Amino acid sequence: MHPRSRTGLAWLVFGATCACLVGGLVVTLFVTRPLTAQVLVNGAFEGAIWLLFATIGLVLTLRRPGNPIGWLYAGAGLAWTLSVPWDPWVDQLVASNRRPLPPAAQLAALAGDSLWAVGLTMAVTLPLLLLPDGRLRSPRWRPVAVASVAGTAATVVGWVLAPDPMTQTIRPVPKPFPLHGVAGTMADTIHWIGWGVLFACIPVAAVSLVLRFRASRGTERQQLRWVVAGAAGAVAGLVVGIAGVVVTYFAVICLPLGVAVAVLRYRLWDLDRLVSRTVTYAAVTALLLIPYLLVLPAATRLAGGSGSLAVAAATLTAAALFQPLRRRTQDQVDRRFNRRRYDAARTVDAFATRLRDQVDLGALHSELLGVVDQTMQPTHAWLWLRPPARQVPAGG
pLDDT at 355 over 90: no
166 three-state secondary structure: strand
Q: What is the pLDDT of residue 128?
A: 92
- Supply the DSSP string of 255-324, one letter for each residue: HHHHHHHHHHT-SGGGHHHHHHHHHHHHHHHHHHHHHHHHHHHHHHHHHTT-HHHHHHHHHHHHHHHHHH
pLDDT tens column, 368-385: 666 666 556 566 676 676
* Domain layout of the chain by residue ranges: 3-268, 273-337, 347-376
CA distances from 5 to 1, 18, 62, 65 (A): 7, 20, 11, 12
Q: What is the pLDDT of residue 10?
A: 92
CB atoms within 10 A of CB 151: 22
Cβ contact 131:188 at 8 Å: no
pLDDT at 338 over 60: no
Which is more confident, 82 or 315? 82
Task: Give this prediction's pTM.
Answer: 0.71
pLDDT at 151 over 90: yes
C-alpha to C-alpha distance for 77 and 56, rounded to whole angstroms: 10
pLDDT at 15 over 90: yes
**Amino acid present at 103:** P
CA 29 vs. chain centroid, Å, equals 30
Peptide bond before residue 34 is cis, with ω within 30 degrees of 0: yes
Average pLDDT on 107-114 reads: 86
Helices H / strands E in the chain, number of each: 15, 0
- Minimum mean pLDDT range among 119-123, 251-255, 292-296: 292-296
Task: Provide the angle, in degrees to the nearest 10, between the axes of the packed helices 37-63 and 3-31.
Answer: 180
Average pLDDT on 282-296 reads: 61
φ, ψ for residue 149, nearest 5 deg:
-70, -45
Average pLDDT on 66-85 reads: 92
Average pLDDT on 314-318 reads: 61
Q: What is the pLDDT of residue 140?
A: 92
Cβ contact 211:221 at 8 Å: no
C-alpha to C-alpha distance for 82 and 16, rounded to whole angstroms: 9
CA 253 vs. chain centroid, Å, equals 4
Cβ contact 78:17 at 8 Å: yes
Q: What is the pLDDT of residue 396?
A: 44
Q: Binning pLDDT at 50, 70 and 90, where does residue 393 land?
A: low
C-alpha to C-alpha distance for 157 and 190, rounded to whole angstroms: 8
